[in-house]
Structure 1
Amino acid sequence: MKLSLLSYFLLFVVSGLKNMVATNPSVIVVGAGPAGIAAATKLLENSITNITILEAGNRIGGRINSVRLGDGLVDVGAEYCHGQEGNVVYELVKDLDLLQHSKPCTPEYLKLYYSNGSTIEEEMTMNLAKLIQNYDDEINQTCGLSLGDAFLPVYNSTILKKYENDKQKLKVATEALKYTNDLILLHEGAFSWLRPSAGRHYRACKGDQGMTWKKGGYHTILDVLMKSYPDPSQKLPIDDKIFFDKKVTKIIWNNDDDEVIVKTFDNSSLTAHHVIFTPSIGVLKEQKDSLFHPQLPERKENAMEAMGFDAIVKIILHFPQRWWGDDDVDFLFVWSKEDLLNTIHEFPDGPSQHGVSWVAQIVALVEVPSNRNVRIALFSGDLVPKIEQTPEELVKRGCMYVIRKFLGRDYNVTDADKIIRSQWYTNSNFRGTYSYEKHGYFKREVSYQAQLAEPLLDDEDIPRVLFAGEATHPTVYSTVHGAIESGKREAERIINLHKK
């Protein structure tokens, strides 16, 4: 049957629209953290410029948050560049003289203190440090167990057995299990070491795992991505595409008109051909039932359930006088059983658990190499949500109590005059710090991160909602470089789609 002139005209219009979509797709990026910025900059570099970035907060960076304190910057969130080989963060900045290597794990720099104010002998300190550094390798082949259940036999055989014939050393080694537990939880970001799986798909990039920023804080990587550093004149046209205080409340993704509708808390409504969703898995877990229409596929919900997302706390303390020495890198704390149970009497204010005060959750007091008068107290464990809500002045008093208890014999500890603390778990825009694989779900042949990354397809199998963020990276989840790689990955997916 011959087509009428009107039919030819309509085919011409539809064909023209399809070509226009292919050459100038519109993209909404939800979230201006490292994944969102990486996605947006990758699109801009490939001439996809019809981009809108919706950020729920009032700044870019997400879980990167570099703020000024005293004479320099401190990182309230992401702080370390983990590894060199295959690490996109390292590759982007390695020639810019921005990173400094961590100091070696030796008695010269690592000081493990007992709660009576004495230092723990070098041999035990180094044995514990070596075990903690390598715990992932020790337990990674143990499938079907929680991290804690897999680690305990290793601890017993490598630490307790070594000191079984020395009653006093065995007592300290037994008490140091809590310190080991708490320090591992800092790495995992979990409230309990019974939550993460002993088996995991994480693969560390080779090289120094603790590189820090010489200047500018971790925020510098965002400037590098946006090309405002090192040459501001080369900056990508991204500023006018970022809209702050635009919390997304609804994503309607399978429409007849081939566009996604995005609604925000202030009753704005936007449309785009594609949406790249980058908020944390904590936000995704909390809001999935109300956020997406239609609902997310069961496969994606199962992937979310298989992944954990808790938090740690940083208490960043500024001291008007520097009371520690230049070689004092990290102070680490081991509580005696007696002192641990006495914390509730010596420091009764604030939350407690099992007759022990919250202050006992301070794992370490670490340096900030680029900010000489600052120390960071690190907390882990399941009291973290309550610690985040404890009044700031009480938090400072608690930190000073612990610092003086452990270090007051060797140092003339002065009071901190300023404090900044993290509150990632109670912040509705994050609900935690970084992801881990949950015990009870791990299967070596299944990547739940990859399932979480799968885009939502419309009826014509076109990806309409794409997912990025550290929790969607199959091997380096929980890291900034994982987040950046995931953002670039989803941008590349859109770029390739519209090249066809």
Structure 2
Amino acid sequence: MALRSSVDARVLIIGCGISGVGAAQKLIRQGFRNVRIIEATSRSGGRVKTGRLDGKIIEIGANWIHGPSQENPVFRLASQYQLLDEECMSEENQSVDIGGLPPLLSTWLSSSGKKLEAEVMAPAVEVFLSLLKKCQEFYTSSDAPMSSMGEFLEREALRISNEEWKEDETRKLRQALFSTLMKLECGVNGTHTMDDVDLGTFGMYKSLPGLDCTFPGGYDGLITHMMNELPKDIVLFNKPVKCIHWNNIHSQSSSKEGTCPVTVECINGEIFEADHVIVTIPLGYMKKHHDTLLNPPLPQHKMHSIQRLGFGTNNKIFLEFEQPFWDEECEVIFLVWEDEYDLQNHVSDMKTAWIRKMSGFTVLKPTERYGHILCGWIAGHESEYMETLPEEEVLHTVTRLLRRFTGNPTIAPKKLVRSQWFHDPYTCGSYSYVAKGCSGQDIDNLAEPLPLTGSEAEPLQVLFAGEATHKSFFSTVHGALLTGWREANRLISHYNPSPRKVTANL
């Protein structure tokens, strides 16, 4: 059948996060005129969500540009829109290669209310970072000694500490610090436990050069600039999708000529027809609704990959103080529970012990912009439980925690704001990770358009984008953006099958 022109092709994009907005931008620039975005909520941005605490900008969702260098499309766009400060834009900042681990000035506090010496803690940090590096290497060497990352980190951290450090309190403290760093790593990966992360494929994630930086005016400024370049009213807000009927299963326009192969049915009963639908829905939502979201259902291998891939929760708890209790140069405060030297899970009772999963706090800088705000990090089931508690209870528990670890009974945060990504009905968590038993093939399966290659049906009816569909940059904003461009390029190539190469750059 002859291709309709790209001018006529009706493209629906489900989800107005950066992936969907990026796809729409690229298609419209290439002459597609019938592009609409259907968004379940009342706002654009998805997991990019900037909030306010007492008038100060805080990031409820995406926090940093990870690897702000020329290879990063988010950095390039942010530079183009002049949204970054000079330090972030500097050649020096772009060239720093930190392997994804920023060298932060840390303060270590113990559960007995003591400040721990940096030189006592440093060897443990060094060991842990070297083990993380080793975990990444198993991907290329294909000889991971076990299936889970948690198992490997725990075994090796204890082995090294038993061999190299004397039998004294220092060794136990360093082992307890390993436990804190494991919790932090759970947050970085968006998992409940490192036992759920696949050791052999962990290294599939690639970090870009550049010292991670933030948006002085808020991450959502990037979304605003991108949205401003799109035609007005391109987004239909507050329209959750009930089902995507493809292969013309549900078409109500059978009497019309040139029936569209895809029909999108919204929960409110509205129906939209399209030649192509780009699905940019978070993997967390797909996991919960994949059996009803498409009709006919997803092919088995696609469904199995959705079930196998990991998607967890990492939440933030922002606290504002009248005066700082931390040193001026401090960038991060780590909490070390002295009884956790065995690296076992010490949350026996969620109600009373959920707070133990909090690894520490980052200090929002510069002080002139933020005043005195800390951002606490908590991942996993404890994080999901925290979301269900009243704000006052969270504030009370975190205050008790800080008083215990600082030994200062007068510490009192004056305000709290938290994220609640697990209970967000259209996200169901924070971001994806490669779960135990997963491979890059699962990500490829997730990204594969429908109908499958070899089918005689209309091609590229349903395409898939979003951070979970990027093999090297899953869990990142730049990964999400690149996949939106990838699927837009797939459609552009479909309508303009010329030999010229369509690049993934704007």
CA distance in 1, matches of 2:319, 2:290: 37
User: Moved runs in structure 1, 4+ residues, more than 6 A?
Assistant: 102-108
* 2:446 paired residue number: 452
Contact map agreement 1:367 1:375 (CA 8 A) in 2: yes
Contact map agreement 1:92 1:224 (CA 8 A) in 2: no
* 1:11 paired residue number: none
Secondary structure of 1:337's match?
coil
* 2:288 paired residue number: 286
State whether structure 2 residue 229 is matched by structure 1 residue 245.
no
* 1:403 paired residue number: 402
State whether structure 2 residue 506 is matched by structure 1 residue 492.
no
Amino acid at match of 1:218: Y
Q: Which runs of 5+ in 1 are unaligned?
A: 1-13, 227-234, 345-350
CA distance in 2, matches of 1:253, 1:209: 44
Amino acid at match of 2:398: C
For residue 91 of structure 1, report the CA deviation from its aligned partner: 2.4
**1:89 aligns with one of 74, 77, 82:** 74
Deviations 1:449-483 (A, max 9, x none): 12110101263351001000000001110111000
Contact map agreement 1:107 1:122 (CA 8 A) in 2: no
CA distance in 1, matches of 2:61, 2:447: 23
With the length of structure 2 as denominator, give the TM-score of the two structures: 0.84
For residue 144 of structure 1, report the CA deviation from its aligned partner: 4.4
Number of positions where the alignment pairs a residue of Structure 1 with one of Structure 2 = 460
CA distance in 2, matches of 1:160, 1:225: 53
Deviations 1:140-174 (A, max 9, x none): 312641011111233124444332x2411122123
CA distance in 2, matches of 1:304, 1:65: 25
State whether structure 2 residue 467 is matched by structure 1 residue 470.
yes
Instruction: Summarize the Cα distance change of 1:496–1:46 in structure 2 as closer, same or farther, 3 Å threshold.
Output: same
Instruction: Summarize the Cα distance change of 1:128–1:209 in structure 2 as closer, same or farther, 3 Å threshold.
Output: farther
CA distance in 1, matches of 2:194, 2:476: 19
Deviations 1:250-294 (A, max 9, x none): 100111734310011111111111111001111111111111000
CA distance in 2, matches of 1:108, 1:435: 25
Amino acid at match of 1:261: T
CA distance in 2, matches of 1:26, 1:238: 15
Please say which of residues 295-304 and 412-421 is displaced more in the overlay.
412-421
Contact map agreement 1:81 1:90 (CA 8 A) in 2: yes
CA distance in 2, matches of 1:106, 1:450: 30
* 1:75 paired residue number: 59
Contact map agreement 2:7 2:33 (CA 8 A) in 1: no
For residue 109 of structure 1, report the CA deviation from its aligned partner: 2.1
Instruction: Summarize the Cα distance change of 1:199–1:25 in structure 2 as closer, same or farther, 3 Å threshold.
Output: same
Secondary structure of 1:304's match?
helix
Contact map agreement 1:30 1:36 (CA 8 A) in 2: yes
Q: Which runs of 5+ in 2 are unaligned?
A: 139-143, 250-258, 498-506
Secondary structure of 1:316's match?
strand
CA distance in 2, matches of 1:272, 1:48: 13
Instruction: Summarize the Cα distance change of 1:199–1:461 in structure 2 as closer, same or farther, 3 Å threshold.
Output: farther
State whether structure 2 residue 124 is matched by structure 1 residue 128.
yes
Amino acid at match of 1:68: R
For residue 92 of structure 1, report the CA deviation from its aligned partner: 2.2
CA distance in 1, matches of 2:311, 2:223: 24
Amino acid at match of 1:98: L
Contact map agreement 2:102 2:212 (CA 8 A) in 1: no
* 2:339 paired residue number: 337
Contact map agreement 1:202 1:477 (CA 8 A) in 2: no
CA distance in 2, matches of 1:108, 1:273: 49
Secondary structure of 1:261's match?
strand
Secondary structure of 2:375's match?
strand
Instruction: Summarize the Cα distance change of 1:67–1:236 in structure 2 as closer, same or farther, 3 Å threshold.
Output: same
Give me the CA root mean square deviation.
Answer: 2.8
The 5-angstrom pairing of residues 67-466 of structure 1 reads 67-85=51-69, 86-94=71-79, 96=82, 98=84, 109-140=105-136, 141=138, 142=144, 144-163=146-165, 165-200=166-201, 202-208=204-210, 210-213=212-215, 215-226=216-227, 235-255=228-248, 257-337=259-339, 353=349, 357-369=353-365, 370-409=369-408, 414-442=411-439, 446-457=440-451, 459-460=456-457, 462-466=459-463
Secondary structure of 1:217's match?
coil
